[in-house]
Amino acid sequence: MIIRDLIADDFPDALRLYQVLTRDPVPVTTDPAAFHAVLDHAGTTIVGAQIEDRIVAMITLHILPNMTSGGRAYALVENVICDPEHQGKGIGKAVLQAGLDKAKAKGCYKAMLLTGEARGARGFYESLGFSGHEKHGMILRF
């Protein structure tokens, strides 16, 4: 297994993983330009796990500038996905930990994420040190 930042050529595998993740009423876009826009966005990285020639897990990591906490940045983790046939093998944990390590190396003082109650992933995130007790996540959809 290789943990690495994704590149534009990884679009087909990324699209397959996004389609596993997405439960929204609006389907994931199949436009490669949207994937390129994420890759090109300053402060954003998609970290993935490659087994043989296939990306089997990935996360999106956004590092955001900040005025509080001494001006230290914070990280937002989004779109944590592991191919169902590779779940339970520590791959998703390795990818997320690699993203968190990047955030620490960039001087972030915290990392945040939201997870849906229906996905049953809370224990997975707690095993990496995340806590749902300190703050309450809220969403406003447009």
Give pLDDT, residue 118.
67
Long-range contacts of 21-24 (CB under 8 A, 24+ apart): 21/79, 21/81, 23/116
Give pLDDT, residue 44.
98
Superfamily covering domain 2-126: Gcn5-related N-acetyltransferase (GNAT) (3.40.630.30)
Give the predicted TM-score (pTM) of the model: 0.91
Per-domain boundaries in the chain: 2-126
CA–CA distance, 35 with 56 (Å, rounded to integer) = 17
- Mean per-residue pLDDT of the chain: 92
β-sheet with 44-51: strand ranges across: 2-5, 44-51, 54-64, 74-82, 111-113
Tens-digit pLDDT profile for residues 39-93: 999 999 999 999 999 999 999 999 999 999 999 999 999 999 999 999 999 999 9
